[in-house]
Amino acid sequence: MAPPRARVSQSAVRRMYYEEERTLVQIGEVFGVNAVTILNRMNSWGMPRRNFAERDRLKRKYGEMRGRPRTKGQFRSGGKWCVYVPGRKRKGSKGCIPVYVLTAERALGRQLRPNEVVHHRDGNPDNGTEENLCVLISNDHLRVHRILGTVGLALIADGQLRLVLHMIRDPDKHALIERVYGRAHQLEGEREVGCGQDDDDGR
C-alpha cells in the first residue's frame, strides 16, 4: 500500500525551492507527489521559477551538467553566444553564427540546410553541448515547442521525460516527442537520430 501523501505546504515549498535550492523532483519526493504537481502549485501561488542560469548552476551542483566556459572570440547577440564567420551566409545572420549551430554542424559534418534549425532538448539556449542539440526541420521544431510548452520543457529539464510522454495522448504528437527525446540521441554525419530526415521540398 502506497504511503499517504503529505499536504503540499506553500511555506515548505518556498523554503525548499528558494533557500535549500532543491529541484522540483526532490520537492515532490518529500510530499509524495510528482514534479508537475509541485510546478502547478507554484504557478497557482505566483512563485517564479528559476531562470536558466540558476537551473544550470544547480545542475552543475548536483553533477547533472558540465559547464561550458566562454571561448575567446565569442560574444552575446540576441541572447545567444555567437561567433563571427566571415563570408558565411545564413538568413539574418550577417556572418554572426550561434555557437550551438556550429557545434551541430561540426557533429553532422555539413552546414544546416535553409529549412533546418537546432533544437535545445532541455529548452535552455545556453546549453550548447552536443548531447543537448537536435537538428529539426522548421515545422517540426515549431510543433515540438507547441506540444511541450513551458511546462513540458521545464519538466524535461528536471528529468521528467517519462511523465511528459505519459501526459501526451495524441499519437502523432507522442511519436514526434518520442523521436526527439525518447531514444539515444547523437549527431553523427547525416544520421540525425530521433530528429527525422528532412526532404528537399522543405516540408
pLDDT tens by residue, 88-129 = 766 555 668 888 999 999 999 999 998 999 999 888 888 888
Q: Percentage of the chain surpassing pLDDT 90? A: 21
Taking the model in full, what pTM does it have? 0.58
SS3 assignment for 61-117:
HCCCCCCCCCCCCCEEECCEEEEECCCCCCCCCCCEEEHHHHHHHHHHCCCCCCCEE
39 and 118 part of one domain? no
**pLDDT higher than threshold 60 for residue 203:** no
pLDDT at 49 over 80: yes
Give the domain extent around 43: 10-49
Count of domains observed in the chain: 2
In a domain, 165, yes or no: yes
Instruction: Establish if 85 belongs to a structural domain.
Output: no
- Cα 55 from Cα 154, distance rounded (Å): 10
Does residue 181 sit within a domain? Answer: yes
